[in-house]
Amino acid sequence: MGRKKAYKIMYILTPVVFLILSLFFSIEKIPDTMFIRVKDDIKSSYLLKVNERKDVSALAVGKVKDQSELNSKADVKLLGLFSVKSVDVKRVPDLSLYPGGTSIGVKLNTKGVLVVALSDIEVDNSKVSSPAAQSGIMVGDSILSINDKPVKSAEMLSDLINESEGKEVKIEIERKGESIIKLVKPVKIPKEKKYKIGLWVRDSTAGVGTLTFYDEKTGSFAALGHPITDVDTGTILNVDKGELVASTIVNIRKGVRGTPGELKGVFVNESNVLGQINSNTECGIFGKANKSILEGNRVKPMKVALRDEIQVGDAQIITTLDDKGPQYYDIKIEKLLDQDTPGPKSMVIKVTDPRLLAKTGGIVQGMSGSPIIQNNKIVGAVTHVLINKPDTGYGIYIEWMLKDSKIVD
């Protein structure tokens, strides 16, 4: 009798458990920021109703003064009654952008100098612990000033330390967006007649990537689809100033399982700056440029696709492998990933084009930023390759790049 009762309870509870789990995953799939078209309604389900907090009737007749008025908040409610989540709503106009695919040279100077290593100091055949480390300076910190004098380069850092003549110096660092003051006493190196604080720094970097899009209306560009990070520390480099210049691909190292491939390029006509880099974020590099950035790219403007318009299935990328310029290559979007916050891993993509596989083995370094096209719309950009599957990698939703480019406020 007890067993029959247990079966009945399980029979009743099982669908309830599945319903709760389904509801939980449905809530989890709702992003913190929802991008929708200006005149579209927010999509709801029977279980989860999404109610916008303001009257949007003015949107349909164009009674808005600027982009910020298109943004609002919405409440997600269970059965329209119980509030479970609040989300930001960003209304996006029907944008048309020039897709990129051109190879670009990137030159970046950091804000201050980046600490990439800490080291003991050798003095008269003995070692002294790093004064910088003892004061609490860490790898990944950016040194902004010494005794209130801005630090612009590694050479300037060395000069300011020497000027101290061994007296304690006040060092301003930036760590995870926070400004911190450290006091450090330099150590004299008699043989070199210099003072040191026991650290290694980097003040610039350069490389080759791919342009994602250009907006003729605002002069804004986006590239890479992922941040530029320091090769030693993995820290996202803080931009002081940066430039885009033309580049050309001179060689291709084909990707194989376990070893990523690479597009090897050189800068061309460096005196002719194509654009200024203003920011380096989780979603790529962004800034302003003139239309010469599209030179050699004969594409016309394309509309952008929001997340709910992207489908698993056939797509293309535009990328440059040689002096023929940007070309279309076939790929498949294999999986669309749920993302609450911006990041470069939004979708799983696989190269299917035999021409691209023959030349590169799939996705290679330098291809990051290549726009992903589906149904004649820009849906994202290539960002990463899977080391053990060179034909497979990740792409970023174009929404995230639009947000960081400030085209969508």
Dist CA 17 CA 28 (whole Å): 16
Given 103, 346, 368, 405, the catalytic residue: 368
| Residue of 282, 407, 399 lying closest to 344 (CA atoms) | 282
| Residue of 134, 131, 11, 30 lying closest to 89 (CA atoms) | 30
| Residue of 186, 183, 207 lying closest to 198 (CA atoms) | 186
Given 75, 230, 322, 353, the catalytic residue: 353
> For 176, phi and psi rounded to 5 degrees?
50, 45
Residues facing residue 392 across a β-bridge: 350
Is there a catalytic annotation at residue 409?
no
Residues in the chain: 409
Dist CA 110 CA 233 (whole Å): 14
Identify the three-state secondary structure at position 381. Answer: strand
**Residue 304: count of CB within 10 angstroms of its CB:** 24
> Is-contact 142 174, C-beta < 8 A?
yes
Given 72, 103, 226, 404, the catalytic residue: 226
Is there a catalytic annotation at residue 226?
yes
Dist CA 51 CA 45 (whole Å): 11
Structure-token match 């990933």, residue found: 337
**Would you call 146 exposed, middle or buried from its count of C-beta atoms within 10 A (0-12, 13-18, 19+)?**
buried
Structure-token match 């929404």, residue found: 399
Residues facing residue 78 across a β-bridge: 48, 82
> Is-contact 323 397, C-beta < 8 A?
no
The set of residues, in sequence order, having a beta carbon less than 8 Å from that of 387 and lying 6+ positions away, is 257, 258, 259, 260
Is there a catalytic annotation at residue 384?
no
Per-residue H/E/C for 42-101: CCCCCCEEEEECCCCHHHHCCCCCCHHHHEEEEEEEECCCEEEEEEEEEEECCCEEEECC
**Would you call 324 exposed, middle or buried from its count of C-beta atoms within 10 A (0-12, 13-18, 19+)?**
exposed
**Residue 314: count of CB within 10 angstroms of its CB:** 12
Q: Which residues are catalytic?
A: 226, 353, 368
